[in-house]
């Protein structure tokens, strides 16, 4: 990425210096890299207030590959290990032949997956796990509403919620309805024909993947004292303190931008939280165990060769992917 802007600011470049790892870091030969909306949002400069990259920067936020070498202090990985990670937020760097990852953010790949399937897991699955387990604290028998169930995060969220024993309602267009049902959704609402708030009531919690008007309407399907966790709405003061380690200024800014959302939540007696997921090797171990135990399937929509990384991002950007979009490195 050479500057902030549209697709024209990205290019495939040869001769980019290899990243050099330091203590507690692992150098990974990337075999596949997953794509996420954060990639084009970063390119557009929408996240500049949180992450500013020295340009040109190597894009890409999640990888699967083979450990090439380890830095001083690395104890859990060795050359040749098959690993996957949501790469460090401050560096990105997944869309390249080599990437450097802190060992705390890395885990061994699920043994049952190929690289291009494993690369689809880290960012979206960590987000779903952290939202449902840590924020909504979903328990057996509870009812949860998950919007946009057919996308990258949604396909993991439905399955993880079912694993926790929850009853799941989700929204999908006719293009995604069969998929979300197959993944375990109990109630599927066709958002192209029906407003979900007309039929859903008194849910214990909701996981919002859309923000905007959908988030505003989500508050009315959750019972009083319930919680709505969003990853696409407005960040609020807790986001600044807990997820970004930010000081009072960022918290104050988020207080302002989230005012109407928090007011809407309060009117419905519902707790609102905006989550920024965090990289975590130990959570990736949890996910690898769920995947190897066949509790969670990885849904990959399309795999593009590295030479078509730009087309891959454009495809994701259309917002219609069913599951994940992945870029495979040539070897």
Residue 321 as a binder of ligand NAP (CB under 6 A): the answer is yes
Residue 159 as a binder of ligand NAP (CB under 6 A): the answer is no
Residue 122 as a binder of ligand NAP (CB under 6 A): the answer is no
Closer CB to ligand NAP, residue 41 or residue 137?
Answer: 41
Residue 284 as a binder of ligand NAP (CB under 6 A): the answer is no
**One of 42, 127, 218, 261 touching ligand NAP (CB under 6 A):** 127
Cα→Cα distances 206→101, 148, 220, 306, Å: 32, 12, 10, 36
Q: Which residue is nearest to ligand NAP (CB)?
A: 151
**One of 66, 232, 253, 314 touching ligand NAP (CB under 6 A):** 232
Q: How many residues bind ligand NAP, per CB under 6 A?
A: 33
Residue 172 as a binder of ligand NAP (CB under 6 A): the answer is yes
Cα→Cα distances 313→126, 128, 259, Å: 21, 21, 33
Closer CB to ligand NAP, residue 176 or residue 226?
Answer: 176
Residue 320 as a binder of ligand NAP (CB under 6 A): the answer is yes
**Secondary structure of the chain in the HEC alphabet?**
CCCCCCHHHCCCCCCCCCCCCCCCEEEEEEEEEEECHHHHHHHCCCCCCCCCCCCCCCCCCEEEEEEEEECCCCCCCCCCCEEEEECCCCCCCCCCCEEEEEHHHEEECCCCCCHHHHCCCHHHHHHHHHHHHHHCCCCCCCEEEECCCCCHHHHHHHHHHHHCCCEEEEEECHHHHHHHHHCCCCEEEECCCCCHHHCCCCEEEEEECCCHHHHHHHHHHEEEEEEEEECCCCCCHHHHHHHCCCCHHHHHHHHHHCHHHHHHHHHCCCEEEECCCCCCHHHHHHHHHHHHCCCCCCCEEEEEEHHHHHHHHHHHHCCCCCCEEEEECCC
Options 90-98, 119-127, 252-260, 290-298: segment touching ligand NAP (CB under 6 A): 119-127
**One of 191, 207, 272, 306 touching ligand NAP (CB under 6 A):** 191
Residue 117 as a binder of ligand NAP (CB under 6 A): the answer is no
**One of 10, 159, 171, 227 touching ligand NAP (CB under 6 A):** 171
What character string, x for contact with ligand NAP (CB under 6 A) and - otherwise, covers 37-56?
A: xx--x---------------
**One of 147, 218, 261, 280 touching ligand NAP (CB under 6 A):** 147
Kindly state the smallest distance separating residue 210's Cβ from ligand NAP, in Å: 5
Distance (Å, whole) CA 14 – CA 314: 21
Residue 173 as a binder of ligand NAP (CB under 6 A): the answer is yes
Distance (Å, whole) CA 7 – CA 92: 17
Closer CB to ligand NAP, residue 79 or residue 257?
Answer: 257
Closest CA to 144 of 130, 132, 126: 132
Residue 148 as a binder of ligand NAP (CB under 6 A): the answer is yes
Kindly state the smallest distance separating residue 175's Cβ from ligand NAP, in Å: 4
Residue 175 as a binder of ligand NAP (CB under 6 A): the answer is yes
Kindly state the smallest distance separating residue 246's Cβ from ligand NAP, in Å: 15
Q: Are 144 and 166 in contact (CB under 8 A)?
A: yes
**One of 107, 119, 121, 124 touching ligand NAP (CB under 6 A):** 124
Residue 277 as a binder of ligand NAP (CB under 6 A): the answer is yes
Give me the residues that bind ligand NAP (CB under 6 A), please. Answer: 36-38, 41, 123-124, 127, 147-148, 150-154, 171-173, 175-176, 191, 209-210, 214, 231-232, 275-277, 316, 319-322
């Amino acid at each position: 990425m050479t500057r902030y802007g549209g697709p024209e600011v990205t290019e495939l470049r040869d001769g980019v210096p290899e990243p050099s790892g330091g203590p507690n870091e692992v150098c990974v030969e990337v075999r596949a890299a997953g794509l996420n909306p954060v990639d084009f949002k970063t390119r557009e400069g929408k996240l500049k207030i949180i992450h500013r990259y020295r340009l040109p920067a190597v894009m890409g936020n999640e990888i699967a590959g083979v450990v090439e070498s380890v830095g001083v202090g690395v104890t859990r990985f060795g050359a040749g290990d098959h690993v996957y990670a949501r790469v460090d937020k401050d560096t990105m760097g997944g869309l390249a032949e080599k990437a450097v990852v802190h060992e705390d953010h890395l885990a061994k790949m699920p043994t049952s997956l190929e690289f291009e399937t494993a690369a689809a897991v880290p960012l979206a699955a960590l987000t779903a796990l952290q939202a449902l387990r840590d924020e909504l604290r979903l328990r057996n028998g509870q009812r949860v509403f998950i919007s946009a169930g057919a996308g990258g995060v949604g396909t993991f969220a439905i399955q993880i919620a079912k694993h926790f024993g929850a009853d799941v309602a989700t929204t999908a267009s006719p293009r995604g309805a069969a998929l979300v049902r197959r993944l375990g959704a109990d109630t599927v609402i066709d958002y192209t024909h029906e407003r979900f708030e007309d039929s859903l009531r008194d849910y214990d919690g909701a996981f919002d993947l859309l923000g905007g008007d959908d988030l505003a309407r989500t508050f009315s399907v959750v019972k009083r004292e319930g919680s709505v966790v969003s990853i696409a709405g407005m960040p609020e003061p807790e986001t600044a303190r807990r997820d970004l380690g930010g000081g009072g200024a960022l918290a104050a800014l988020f207080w302002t931008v989230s005012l109407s959302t928090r007011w809407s939540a309060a009117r419905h007696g519902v707790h609102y939280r905006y989550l920024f997921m965090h990289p975590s090797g130990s959570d990736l171990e949890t996910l690898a165990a769920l995947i190897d135990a066949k509790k969670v399937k990885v849904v990959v929509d399309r795999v593009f060769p590295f030479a078509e990384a730009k087309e891959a991002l454009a495809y994701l950007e259309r917002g219609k992917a069913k599951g994940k979009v992945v870029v495979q490195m040539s070897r």
